Amino acid sequence: MIPVKSVDDLMEMAHGYQRSMALFVALKLDVFSALGDGPADARALARRLSADPRRLSILLNAMAAMGLIAKTGETYRNLPIAKDFLSAGTRSKRSILLHHLDCWEEWSGLERKVRGGRKARPDRGGYQENFIRGMEDNARERAVLVAGQIPLRAGERVLDLGGGPGTYAVEWAKRYPGAEVTVFDTRETLRVTRKILREKGATRMVRLLEGDFTEEALGGPYDFIWISQILHAYSEKECIALLRKARRALAPGGRVSIQEFLLEESGDAPPGPAFFSVHMAAVTEGGRAYTAGEVAAMLRAAGFRKVLPGRPDSRGVGIVSGQT
């Protein structure tokens, strides 16, 4: 085990459960034994394993990102480590790994045991508070960079769609005091956003607009719409509908920028976005990570004309922009 020496190491440690569960699920389905019979694509494997093809392909891409299997075009095959240790055979470690999965439930009760059997206390703020404050943790440094990279013109009207804690919105409002910046989000999120803005002394810097963007109008017109870490929670069809709505809320010549954890075009790299995609397969109905090409295609399908995919950073976070 590697001692934690940086915030990246810390995050890696925290995400360990996702790596474990993805591997355990692949083992439970017996993906590696099925691939022992020869290379196959996700659709064929899903038929053999009675699995959901969309979610199975997301899982297979993550296994490929970890170097357990290889992907060529749409076809997957076992690499030596999977052939030797994860599929049926004399050197297999399948049973001991599945035993760890059996222990998972008991680990879920570890907090209670460490508390001497007393009931685990729910967190002060609960799910939404941790989620939205967590978005602020993630965006704090990145927002400074982004606001520097995407300048505003004097007096522009900006919408931070699904803006969560409003980290990006506040950063633009600070740099461009004449800008009119709005954060659109759900009632339960904005309850947390208000607290965060108060703590930062930023309440007056941004306007809050409450609603469900899949159902309600977005207000406007705006000159620039920022859509950060939103699309991955929705299917391609839902994303196109949202982007079309965003285009209609823009003034003539208006711009949109989309920030996401972007997969490479092969879909099985880099590991961060590949696992983030599994996370979305677990926690949403139709979401997953997308490639820059897929985001660009969604923008075009929504009627944006000039579409510019940017280069993702070392964590796979990238921006794709469009103009009406």
The residues of the shown chain that bind ligand SAM, judged by CB under 6 A, are 132, 135, 139, 162-164, 167, 185-186, 189, 212-214, 228-230, 233
Burial 249-286 (b: 16+ CB within 10 A, else e): bbeeebbbbbbbbbbbeebbbbbbbbbbbbbbbeeeee
Say which residues have a Cβ less than 8 Å from residue 316's Cβ, sequence separation at least 6: 261, 262, 263, 270, 272, 273, 276
Instruction: State in angstroms the smallest separation of the CB of 154 from ligand SAM.
Output: 25
Instruction: State in angstroms the smallest separation of the CB of 18 from ligand SAM.
Output: 16
> Considering beta carbons, is residue 59 or 169 the nearer one to ligand SAM?
169
> Do the bridges between strand 250-263 and strand 290-291 make them parallel or antiparallel, or are there none, so unpaired?
parallel
Instruction: State in angstroms the smallest separation of the CB of 162 from ligand SAM.
Output: 3
> Considering beta carbons, is residue 78 or 167 the nearer one to ligand SAM?
167
Instruction: State in angstroms the smallest separation of the CB of 207 from ligand SAM.
Output: 15
> Do the bridges between strand 250-263 and strand 317-323 make them parallel or antiparallel, or are there none, so unpaired?
antiparallel
Instruction: State in angstroms the smallest separation of the CB of 319 from ligand SAM.
Output: 11
> Considering beta carbons, is residue 31 or 280 the nearer one to ligand SAM?
280
> Considering beta carbons, is residue 162 or 272 the nearer one to ligand SAM?
162
Instruction: State in angstroms the smallest separation of the CB of 287 from ligand SAM.
Output: 10
Rounded Cα distance between 225 and 71, Å, is: 36
Unique residue bearing structure tokens 């069809």? 237
Rounded Cα distance between 306 and 255, Å, is: 9
> Considering beta carbons, is residue 24 or 131 the nearer one to ligand SAM?
131
Write down how long the chain is: 324
Q: Tell me which DSSP letter residue 270 carries.
A: S
> Considering beta carbons, is residue 31 or 146 the nearer one to ligand SAM?
146
Q: How far apart are the first and last CA of the chain?
A: 51
